């Protein structure tokens, strides 16, 4: 009996050692896969246009960027530049601080660009590690608004706008970054002279130098189907602004309104979309930080990655 107990004890010790060796040894493929899957589940995805949280970015940009990362976003779009700085930080400081949070800046809205400052703005965007220089309205004050007729007009000739966009696009290309034009609703409506700005730019600008950031709210507001533009101009809409529309036609967090994002997302390859950004110009009574969290959850449910 004593001998049997010794044998049993020895077997137990041997098994224990084998288990310990396996635990300390190299992981099996299945273990690695489980770790990778867990890492993927918690990794951030998608982008945020910082215009959404502009007030908190103005008062405390670093804490706000930390909150953006905590909300699950992987990259951002800058919307503030003055005196050679992004949110009070030099291009290098902005890039480094974003990196410390696991964020990158994919794009920047640079509506203040003109021919005199273009080279410096492009250089600063490049230095901040930003890949896309975005023009959010026809540049250099080239559009007018008639209060009585509620219609848009264009200063100068349509070809002047095309030439300016191509010139800026060439400058960006030479610097190793890319130019995009961002729409509102008026670019899809005929101006007083019959010009439709979005069509003009798509048809006349050199696609090697000028492409587009489609704002899905504003194109819907203009009563235009984005898929019709994807079909007619495939590969030109490199970025999207993703924001929803409520029953009153106002901005709403992604997934809480009426825009059929799943239908649009199904055509992302045709559109040319490489990245997208949540944006909500006005969150009304909802705190902007809460709105971006709701939108990020909406992205997940819709199937954005």
Q: How confident is the model at residue 150 (pLDDT cuts 50, 70, 90)?
A: low
Taken in order 130, 131, 133, 136, the sign of the CA dihedral is negative
Q: Summarize pLDDT for 23-47 with one digit per residue, the tens.
A: 333 333 333 343 333 333 459 999 9
Statement to judge: residues 116 and 12 lie in one domain:
no
Q: Summarize pLDDT for 115-125 with one digit per residue, the tens.
A: 999 999 999 99
Statement to judge: residues 1 and 90 lie in one domain:
no
CA distances from 113 to 20, 125, 132, 210 (A): 64, 12, 14, 15
Cα(83)–Cα(90) distance, integer angstroms: 9
Statement to judge: residues 73 and 94 lie in one domain:
yes
Report the pLDDT value the prediction gives residue 226, as an integer from 0 to 100: 98
Q: How confident is the model at residue 143 (pLDDT cuts 50, 70, 90)?
A: confident
Report the pLDDT value the prediction gives residue 139, as an integer from 0 to 100: 87
Statement to judge: residues 207 and 85 lie in one domain:
yes
CA angle 196, 198, 204 (to 5 degrees): 95
Question: How is residue 107 annotated by DSSP?
Answer: E
Statement to judge: residues 36 and 102 lie in one domain:
no
| CB neighbours of residue 11 within 10 Å | 10
Helix (H) or strand (E) holding 238: strand 237-242
**89 has pLDDT over 60:** yes
| CB neighbours of residue 5 within 10 Å | 9
164's CB contacts (< 8 A; 6+ apart) are: 115, 139, 140, 142
Q: What is the pTM for the complete model shown?
A: 0.85
> Which tokens sit at 187?
């670019």
Statement to judge: residues 31 and 127 lie in one domain:
no
Cα(161)–Cα(154) distance, integer angstroms: 9
The average pLDDT across 292-300 equals 98
Statement to judge: residues 98 and 220 lie in one domain:
yes
Question: How is residue 79 annotated by DSSP?
Answer: -
CA angle 139, 171, 163 (to 5 degrees): 50
| End-to-end Cα spacing for the chain | 64
Statement to judge: residues 29 and 127 lie in one domain:
no
256: CATH: 3.20.20.150
Between these two residues, 145 and 107, which has the higher pLDDT value?
Answer: 107
Report the pLDDT value the prediction gives residue 41, as an integer from 0 to 100: 46
Number of domains in the chain: 2
**Residue 4 lies in domain:** 1-42
Q: HSE of 189 in the Cβ direction (CA atoms, 13 Å)?
A: 16
Statement to judge: residues 73 and 180 lie in one domain:
yes
Statement to judge: residues 8 and 94 lie in one domain:
no
246's CB contacts (< 8 A; 6+ apart) are: 252, 256, 257, 258
The average pLDDT across 38-64 equals 87
Statement to judge: residues 12 and 160 lie in one domain:
no
Pairing mode, if any, of strands 251-252 and 244-245?
antiparallel
Please give the full DSSP string across 109-154, using - where no structure is assigned: E-TT--TTTHHHHHHHHHHTT--EEEE-SSTTT-EEEETTTTEEEE
Statement to judge: residues 1 and 130 lie in one domain:
no
Cα(92)–Cα(125) distance, integer angstroms: 10
């Amino acid at each position: 009996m004593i001998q049997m107990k010794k044998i049993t004890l020895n077997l137990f010790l041997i098994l224990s050692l084998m288990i310990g060796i396996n635990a300390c040894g190299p992981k099996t493929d299945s273990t690695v896969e489980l770790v990778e899957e867990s890492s993927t589940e918690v990794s951030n995805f998608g982008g945020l246009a910082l215009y959404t949280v502009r007030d908190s970015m103005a008062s405390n940009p670093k804490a706000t960027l930390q909150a953006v990362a905590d909300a699950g976003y992987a990259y951002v779009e800058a919307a503030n530049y003055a005196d050679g700085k992004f949110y009070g930080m030099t291009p290098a400081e902005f890039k480094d601080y974003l990196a410390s949070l696991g964020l990158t800046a994919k794009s920047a809205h640079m509506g203040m660009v003109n021919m005199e400052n273009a080279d410096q703005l492009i250089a600063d965007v490049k230095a901040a590690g930003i890949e896309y220089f975005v023009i959010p309205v026809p540049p250099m004050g080239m559009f007018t608004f008639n209060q009585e007729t509620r219609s848009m007009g264009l200063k100068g000739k349509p070809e002047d706008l095309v030439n300016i966009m191509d010139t800026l696009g060439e400058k960006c290309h030479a610097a190793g970054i890319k130019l995009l034009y961002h729409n509102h609703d008026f670019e899809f409506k005929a101006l007083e002279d019959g010009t439709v700005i979005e069509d003009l730019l798509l048809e006349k600008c050199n696609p090697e130098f000028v492409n587009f950031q489609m704002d899905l709210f504003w194109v819907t507001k203009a009563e235009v189907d984005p898929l019709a533009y994807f079909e007619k101009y495939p590969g030109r809409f490199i970025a999207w602004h993703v924001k929803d529309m409520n029953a009153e036609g106002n901005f709403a967090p992604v997934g809480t309104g009426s825009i059929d994002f799943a239908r649009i997302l199904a055509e992302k390859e045709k559109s040319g979309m490489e990245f997208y950004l949540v944006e909500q110009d006005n969150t009304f009574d909802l705190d902007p930080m809460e709105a971006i969290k709701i939108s990020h959850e909406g992205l997940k449910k819709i199937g954005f990655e």
